[in-house]
Amino acid sequence: MKSHATFMIYCLIPDTNKDPGFLQARNIPKGEAITNTYTPVLWGNRARAAYLASSKLFTCRCERCLDPRELGSHLSSVRCRQCQGGVLLPPSSPAETVWQCESCGENVAAAAVEAMVRAAATMAKGAVGDAEELQAVVCQMTRLVGECHYVTVGAKHSLVETIMAGRLHGEREREREREREREGLFT
Ligand SMILES: [Zn+2]
Ligand SMILES: [Zn+2]
């Protein structure tokens, strides 16, 4: 079996960036392994684990993959409906089938949590490229799975990209208009 270092993977906090080449992405203390990630860092633990198992045939055991709180990011935690501000944490082993709220202790069946996440994930379909719709989707997702969940974070990322693309398009249009005005002055 290949080692973690051989795969150059360290999910949330890789120290290199492979685009356009392997560039150092943060300080690497002397003696620390050179690492990289094979998945988008905004995917939750289970989505990354499923992808790595099917496409790379290994289970990552880095600090983030072993942590249900994902180093405090709570990207996979789901909003608890029984208390204010609590989140349901995924079970620590695949054999367990209950998610538990770390604040109030509420137990929810894994199948129910997975259905919620699937429902949230489908909300973004059809809203891509439409900032107003994406904003509404982000609100719906926040109510369903919470503001930190990776599905919500992904929709927020799409919203920012859509807003920025719209501003860029508007700026290009204004520049073209200014060019046309300048051409008009000199003809
Ligand atoms: Zn990992
Ligand atoms: Zn709770």
Report the alpha-carbon distance of residue 141 to residue 58 in Å, rounded. Answer: 31
Report the alpha-carbon distance of residue 22 to residue 162 in Å, rounded. Answer: 29
User: Which pLDDT score is estimated for 7?
Assistant: 42
Work out the pLDDT band at 128, boundaries 50, 70, 90.
confident
pLDDT over 70 (residue 77): yes
**108 sits in which H/E element:** strand 107-109
* Domain span including residue 12: 1-66
Instruction: Give domain status of residue 51, yes or no.
Output: yes
Residue whose pair of structure tokens reads 């990322």 in the numeric block: 157
User: Which pLDDT score is estimated for 18?
Assistant: 59
Which residues have beta carbons under 5 A from ligand 1 (an ion)?
11, 60, 62, 65
Task: Report cis status (omega within 30 of 0) of the bond before 20.
Answer: yes
Q: Hey, is 183 helix, strand or coil? A: helix
pLDDT over 80 (residue 36): no
Instruction: Give domain status of residue 5, yes or no.
Output: yes
Distance 51 CA to ligand 2 centre (A): 30
Distance 162 CA to ligand 1 centre (A): 30
Q: What percent of the chain has pLDDT over 70?
A: 87
pLDDT-wise least confident of 108-122, 146-160, 161-175: 161-175
Q: Hey, is 175 helix, strand or coil? A: helix
Report the alpha-carbon distance of residue 81 to residue 78 in Å, rounded. Answer: 9
Distance 21 CA to ligand 1 centre (A): 21
Please report which ligand is nearest the Cα atom of 105.
2
Distance 11 CA to ligand 2 centre (A): 28
Instruction: Give domain status of residue 26, yes or no.
Output: yes
Distance 159 CA to ligand 1 centre (A): 27
Cβ neighbour number for residue 141 with a 10 Å cutoff:
25
Instruction: Give domain status of residue 74, yes or no.
Output: no
Distance 156 CA to ligand 2 centre (A): 24
pLDDT over 80 (residue 132): yes
Instruction: Give domain status of residue 182, yes or no.
Output: no
CATH number of the structural domain spanning residue 13: 2.170.270.10
Across the chain, what does the average pLDDT equal? 84
Q: Hey, is 52 helix, strand or coil? A: helix
Instruction: Give domain status of residue 39, yes or no.
Output: yes
Report the alpha-carbon distance of residue 103 to residue 87 in Å, rounded. Answer: 7
Instruction: Give domain status of residue 58, yes or no.
Output: yes
Q: Hey, is 141 helix, strand or coil? A: helix
Radius of gyration of the chain (CA): 21
pLDDT over 80 (residue 70): yes
pLDDT-wise least confident of 3-12, 45-54, 78-87, 109-118: 3-12
pLDDT over 50 (residue 3): no
Dihedral (CA of 4, 8, 12, 15) sign? positive
Please give the tally of structural domains in the chain.
1
**137 sits in which H/E element:** helix 131-144
pLDDT over 60 (residue 13): no
Q: What is this structure's pTM?
A: 0.75
Instruction: Give domain status of residue 18, yes or no.
Output: yes
Cβ neighbour number for residue 103 with a 10 Å cutoff:
14
DSSP symbol at 21: S
Distance 172 CA to ligand 2 centre (A): 49
